[in-house]
Amino acid sequence: MHYKSLVSIYMLLFTFIGGFADASSYLISGIFTGHLTGNLVLSTVYAVNQNYSSLYRCIIAIFGFTIGTVLGVWFRTNPKIHLIYKTSIALLLQLVVVMCIFVINLRFYNNISHIIFFGGLGFALGLQNGTINNLHKIGIHSSYVTGMSTTLINNYFALHKNDPNYTDKKKEYIMQFFVILAFVTGALTSVICIHFMQFIGETILGILLMISIILSIYLQRRDLV
């Protein structure tokens, strides 16, 4: 039971981080860093309104997220890389990137440092998204919830009580719901942190990543994730 609880917390933590990062970047600069769809729409809006500074940030975030996702998927699926702590290593790299871009932006705080920050944050979330796509049979897109929400709705309406795996599937779908809820909770938490602490509120993201790394190492040592 103890291990199951930790695995559940571990899963919820990833989407909480995704919601926190995505909401905070939008509040600070009007762009998303955790998914492509929102930024593509925003890019069109900013282009039409000739808001070129925001447009450039959107484009940089799109490139950062795409590159991070490709790297994360390659790292996860490459058969030549045989590491027990793949997820932990990816999370550690993500933490290093977040810390570096935070320090750079805090130190210089100009247009270039903003671009580096949002491009780097997009890369970090893409890396997490590409590395972690499935935990305990539950598909996870940790930086956005559109796909997970659609899948959950489809699965719920396709579920029948005479299904021999009804109980297990029901538990899985309930967990999916809480994973989505964690994203929303992360976004709400971000709103509060940014409102009271402004840009410094982003430091919470680093703390959350540290917790996820510790949990990842602990669970991977026991072959639980």
Residue 204 has pLDDT above 50, yes or no: yes
- Residue ranges and CATH numbers for the domains of the chain are 2-221 (1.20.1250)
E strand segments, 46-137: 134-135
C-beta separation of 123 from 72 below 8 A = no
Please name which of 154, 148, 122, 150 lies closest in space to residue 135, comparing C-alpha atoms.
148
Per-residue tokens: 162? 């005479």
Residue of 76 and 60 predicted with greater confidence: 60
pTM of the model: 0.87
The count of other CB atoms within 10 Å of the CB of residue 64 is: 25
- pLDDT for 40-65, tens place per residue? 999 999 999 999 988 998 999 999 99
C-beta separation of 37 from 146 below 8 A = yes
- 109: helix, coil or strand? coil
Sign of CA dihedral 191, 196, 197, 199: positive
Residue 1 has pLDDT above 60, yes or no: no
